Structure 1
Amino acid sequence: MAVVRVDGVDVAYTREGRGPVVVLVHGAGIDGRMWQPQVEALADEFTVVAWDEPGSGRSGALPAGFGLADFARALATVIEDVGLGPAQVAGLSWGGTVVLELYRRRPDLVRSLLMVDTYAGWKGSLPPEEVAARVEGARRMLAAPREEFDPTLPGLFSAGPPERFAVLLETMSRDVRPETMAAQLSLMAEADQTDLLPRITVPTLLLWGERDTRSPLEVAHAFREAIPHTELVVIPSVGHVSNLEAPEAFTAAVRAFCRAHA
């Protein structure tokens, strides 16, 4: 584990392997451990970096007023700290929104993009009534007493959590900080990054679960229409957290894309 300090916050990340650098950015209500199968599998060919964003996992507490631009700046600092030049950067769900903001502000640090079951912000990718329903659901979840707080969002998996990662998911769930999740979901609800998509000039992979109900395939098709130099890979029969529901197929797609653009 390595630690870099950004805006007074200690930001932790793991680094495994050697070769071209691939940076993995986790979703909301979770941390860098979600990438465990990809870190282990890809380290034979790549330098694989998985961060715990500020307020998550082993990183320090999220400062008050920390915005999307601050998350992007923290991610940029991690990539600079790794010191291997522009990275191939993958973001799942909320992590993809952070990665897009990184590209907006520091395109010099991005060799290619891997957008996984994600959004150009909820506001940019979902109907207004769906955004309103999610905001209300998040409000109810966050209003629960701490001992009853459950950060599990609906629709993450097509057929329930995969058994082989049950312990990992339970451990990460226990470590979620409500104040961090509140900030993540609030920022995602307000974000609209659709203006950025046509201006992306690096190779881009869209990697989606066929049965994703949180970010349906319609969102992937909208990304593909808007972003030049993009390709879409759909993983059959899996949902939103496709990297854990079908890790072998997911990792094979990531490996092929990253190898082609290293």
Structure 2
Amino acid sequence: MEVLRTHGVEVAYERVGSGPLVLLVHGSACDSRIWRPQLDALADDLTVVAWDQPGAGRSSDPPPGFTLSDYAACLADLVDHLALGPAHVVGHSWGSTLALELYRQAPEQVATLVLVDAYAGWKGSLPASEVRARVERTRAMLAAPPAENVELPGVFAGEPPAEFAELVRRLAADVRRGPMADQLTAMAEADLGGMLGSIDVPTLLLWGELDARSPLTVARRMEAAIPGARLVTFAGAGHTLNLERPAELNDAVREFVHAHPG
């Protein structure tokens, strides 16, 4: 694990392998550990970097009021720090919104986008009533006694895969509630729908057909809005493809990166 100090925070990240840079950006209520199947499988011919966003994992907490732009600025500084050229950015869920904001801020740092069960922000992808309901549910969860794990509903199509059940439990137990509350605000207010048509790098959308958190209607709108985007769906999978279909996701990422060297 390495650490970058930027924007008043310490950003921890794991780096393995060699080759084109693949930057893994995790979703909400987790950290870089959720990418273990990708770190293990992709490092044979790719440089794979998985960060812990500020307020998660081994990174330090951000100051109160940290915004989507602030998170993405830290991500941009990490790409600069790695000095491996533009990154193939793989963002999952909330991490896909960060990937889009990174592209908006610094398109020269992005070689391709792989958006997994993604959002253009909650405001940019979901009805206002659904955003309000999610905010209320999540705030109630964050206000629960500390002994109760923070677990988002509908993350898997069914139960977590048995081999990752303990990992999922540990991730839920390690959520830091203060930073997540600020992240919730950033996610609820984010609307990047208007910039999708300006994306000018190859873009791959990977989606679980049974995704209850970011349903296929969101995927199809993003496919229509992003020039040249390609949507690949996975039968029987939900919102967390990298754990539910790790081998297939790994193959899709590797093939896409090598087909678009940047």
Q: TM-score, normalised by structure 2?
A: 0.98
Q: How does 1:1-262 map to 2 (within 5 A)?
A: 1-148=1-148, 150-262=149-261
Unaligned runs of 5+ in 1: none
Q: What is the DSSP-based 3-state SS (H/G/I as helix, E as strand, rest coil) of the residue aligned with 1:91?
A: strand
Please state whether the residue corresponding to 1:133 is helix, strand or coil.
helix
Deviation at 1:177, TM superposition (A): 0.1
Bigger Cα displacement from structure 2, 181-190 vs 25-34: 181-190
Q: Is the 8 A contact 2:26 2:32 kept in 1?
A: yes
Cα offset, 1:117, TM superposition: 0.3
Moved more, 180-189 or 22-31: 180-189
The alignment yields a C-alpha RMSD, in angstroms, of 0.8
Residues matched between the structures, number = 261
Which residue type is aligned with residue 100 of structure 1? L
Deviation at 1:73, TM superposition (A): 0.5
The letter for the 2-side match of 1:153 is L
Question: CA separation in 2, counterparts of 1:250 and 1:116?
Answer: 9
The SS at the match of 2:5 is: strand
CA distance in 2, matches of 1:172, 1:241: 14
SS in 2 for 1:53: coil
Match of 1:205, SS state, is strand
Q: Matched residues in 2 for 1:185 and 1:242: separation? A: 22
Q: Is the partner of 1:4 in helix, strand or coil?
A: strand
Q: Deviations over 1:45-94 (max 9, x none)?
A: 10000000000000011211111010000001111111101010010000
- Structure 1 segments (4+ residues) deviating >6 Å: none
Letter in 2 for 1:181: M
Cα contact 2:64–2:182 (8 A) shared by 1: no
Cα shift readout 1:103-162 (whole Å, capped 9, x = no counterpart): 0001110000011101011111011111111111012111112223x2111100001111
Contact residue 208 and residue 217 of structure 1 kept, 8 A: yes
